[in-house]
Structure 1
Amino acid sequence: MTLGQYLGAYEMSETPLAKAVAATIGALADAGQQLASLIALGPLAGAMAAKRHDDRFGDSQKELDFRAHAIVIDHLAAAPVALVGSEEADEAELLNADAPLVVAIDPLDGSSNIDTNASVGTIFSIYPAGGGTAALLQRGTQQLAAGVIIYGPQTGLMLTVGDGTALFTLDPRTGQFSLTQARAAIPPRCREYAVNSSNARHWDDGIRRYVADLVKGAEGPRGTDFNTRWVASMVADAFRILVRGGVYLYPGDARPGYHEGRLRLIYEANPIAFLIEQAGGGATDGVRRILEIEPTSLHQRTPLVFGSAEEVLHLGHYQTNAYAGGEESPLFGTRSLFRA
């Protein structure tokens, strides 16, 4: 089944905005195909990793970020989209004032990996329009669809329209996305975790104790060995978790500018959370369900934890219980009830 056929079946649902959503997903898929061709050229396309400038939030915009934004806007201009909120623009961009949808998008996630031949991606959410720019500040629970186009060894599309998460692969022979997994299913338990451990000294106690217990493996309180699988590209880690499970952590920490995390709630955390939940997983900021957080600004940041549902809940227990875990538990600590 091609993406077009999949969306055709979706259009026949009773959802009032289904036709508009399908057209918008189609436009984003077309933009993804164009971006996939550009990214596949690597350095032959020019200095795509060259820094253009730092934005007002302290993030570097690369040449490929700029090109990706322009490609996405060009394709969405012909779709039923009123507004676009993009990581690459300070303010929302008006496209078609009377259109029924708004799109929140990170045109190119993982731009620090551009020159390393690691996976990067496009992350998007689709919401109903209404209320002007406030439509981009809806809770994640109001998403009509969400997706990630990942540019790696294969170009893949992770997509949900609220009825499970489907995985597609771009067939370079036909130029079409073809369905390769109708319903991704994340196992509730896992033995893999993804986190940048170089920041451990900045973490709060809950995250530090949780990761420390994973590192202890079978000899620790978890009683099992865990593996680290950290790509440093969220879209790549998300794809792996959708395929085989695991848990991903990008917590806030004590560094200046990192207290509220670094990932953007509206166009990074919300779409990832929607995809993960629709595949049976969980997504929180460590404690709160991501999809229930009330956004206050387009570029709002949040910590993000997602993946196998039981593991996400387990981490939340460390965040809310000061005695969770082995090393600092009264029962298992180095100085405990059983050891002087």
Structure 2
Amino acid sequence: MATKDINTADTAHEIRTIDEVVDVIASTAPEIRTGLPGRRVAAEEENPSGETQMAADVFADDLLCERIGALEGVGEYASEERPESIDVGNGSLSVALDPLDGSSNLKPNNTMGTIFAVYDGPLPAHGRDLVAAGYVLYGPVMTMIVARDGTVNEYVVYDDSSYELVREDITLPEEGTVYGFGGRVPDWTDDFEAFAREVEQDASRKLRYGGSMIGDVNQILTYGGIFSYPTLQSAPEGKLRVQFEGYPIGYVIETAGGATSDGTKSLLDVDKDELHARTPLYIGNTDLVTELESALD
């Protein structure tokens, strides 16, 4: 995976900044989770992608912006909830977040999470500028996945804001056993629908789709398989945002030995120069992603 290695290409100060970003996200996660019950209502605004914001989206974004923006080594902060990035200092690293992925799941009380990406460069950045990425999953147990320095680790995050390493050097299982596909079936392209039907015919795989992208991604990281939020007839560019979802999830999955694609190439090689640009997303075991790309030719 041709991404930057912070240990050889950058300074000790930048390594420390990445540690601090991870610490802030871990320590803020319990506060975000505790604040959800009173914020399961729509806010007055839409986000830059035209989606209705929940009060919880704004709450999580404000907390993370304040705390990450206070770190000396961070120069820019951006999130799905803000139209533009914010200059927060003179540091060389930029942090982009989806503060509360899956916030539409607040009403039915389903899984959601916080996605983060740390780039060595200004925003909008490129996937190959990533030096760390990961997410917090607000499931029955609050866990945090961190990909950096060629390794993916999992931590349990406790209510007192401490966190403990529970799995090291995570890789996708060789035999993927789950699948999930987003978007409405009538809106799928013919090629993708044919591929999806073929995957469904394999009795060794189980459907897992929860309507929260980060929860579905974590299923793939745990059990292997394939997840897609594909090109749609109504949305040729897909639904997910490159800076906030496509790049960081691509980084996590590829660091864990899996494969990612926008349909033709790695998600980390997608080249978009707008902060809120979108991309189709296909992730999972290498053999399945390769089959997917062949099916979409």
Q: Same fold (TM over 0.5)?
A: yes
Distance (whole Å) between structure 1 residues aligned to residue 154 and residue 250 of structure 2: 16
Q: Which runs of 4+ in 1 moved over 3 A?
A: none
Q: Which aligned pairs between 1:100-249 and structure 2 lie closer than 5 A?
A: 100-129=92-121, 135-172=122-159, 175-196=161-182, 199-217=184-202, 224-249=203-228
RMSD: 2.0
Per the alignment, residue 50 of structure 1 pairs with 42
What one-letter code is carried by the residue in structure 1 that aligns with 2:251?
Answer: F
Query: 1:25 Cα shift?
Result: 4.1
Q: What is the total number of aligned residue pairs between the two structures? A: 292
1:67 aligns with 2:59: yes
Distance (whole Å) between structure 2 residues aligned to residue 160 and residue 237 of structure 1: 17
Q: Deviations over 1:87-119 (max 9, x none)?
A: 1110110100x2121111111111101232222
Q: Deviations over 1:31-85 (max 9, x none)?
A: 4433323424542xx2333233223432111101101111111111221111112
Check 1:31–1:185 CA distance in 2 against 1; reply closer, same or farther (3 A cut).
Answer: closer
- Gaps of at least 5 residues in structure 2 are none
1:30 pairs, out of 24, 40, 46, with 24
What one-letter code is carried by the residue in structure 2 that aligns with 1:30?
Answer: V
Q: Deviations over 1:146-184 (max 9, x none)?
A: 111111111111111131111111133x53211111111
Larger Rg: 1
| Contact map agreement 2:97 2:244 (CA 8 A) in 1 | yes
Per the alignment, residue 93 of structure 1 pairs with 86
Distance (whole Å) between structure 2 residues aligned to residue 14 and residue 266 of structure 1: 24
Identity within the alignment, %: 27
Distance (whole Å) between structure 1 residues aligned to residue 110 and residue 45 of structure 2: 22
TM-score, normalised to structure 2, is: 0.91
SS at match of 2:149: coil
What one-letter code is carried by the residue in structure 1 that aligns with 2:156?
Answer: T
Distance (whole Å) between structure 2 residues aligned to residue 55 and residue 74 of structure 1: 19
1:310 aligns with 2:287: yes
Distance (whole Å) between structure 1 residues aligned to residue 246 and residue 82 of structure 2: 18
1:267 aligns with 2:244: yes
Query: 1:244 Cα shift?
Result: 1.7
What one-letter code is carried by the residue in structure 1 that aligns with 2:33?
Answer: I
TM-score, normalised to structure 1, is: 0.80
What one-letter code is carried by the residue in structure 2 that aligns with 1:127?
Answer: Y
| Contact map agreement 2:172 2:256 (CA 8 A) in 1 | yes
Distance (whole Å) between structure 2 residues aligned to residue 241 and residue 169 of structure 1: 18
What one-letter code is carried by the residue in structure 2 that aligns with 1:245?
Answer: G
Distance (whole Å) between structure 2 residues aligned to residue 38 and residue 148 of structure 1: 13
| Contact map agreement 2:171 2:221 (CA 8 A) in 1 | yes
Q: Deviations over 1:264-295 (max 9, x none)?
A: 01111100000000100011112221101112
SS at match of 2:110: coil
| Contact map agreement 2:30 2:161 (CA 8 A) in 1 | no
| Contact map agreement 1:186 1:243 (CA 8 A) in 2 | yes
Per the alignment, residue 250 of structure 1 pairs with 229
SS at match of 1:136: coil
Q: Deviations over 1:179-234 (max 9, x none)?
A: 111111102432321113x61111112211001112333xxxxxx54311111111
Distance (whole Å) between structure 1 residues aligned to residue 190 and residue 218 of structure 2: 29
Distance (whole Å) between structure 2 residues aligned to residue 155 and residue 213 of structure 1: 34
| Contact map agreement 2:18 2:132 (CA 8 A) in 1 | no
Distance (whole Å) between structure 1 residues aligned to residue 15 and residue 57 of structure 2: 25
Q: Looking at secondary structure, tell me which structure has more strand per residue.
A: 2
Distance (whole Å) between structure 1 residues aligned to residue 76 and residue 175 of structure 2: 39
Distance (whole Å) between structure 2 residues aligned to residue 66 and residue 14 of structure 1: 37
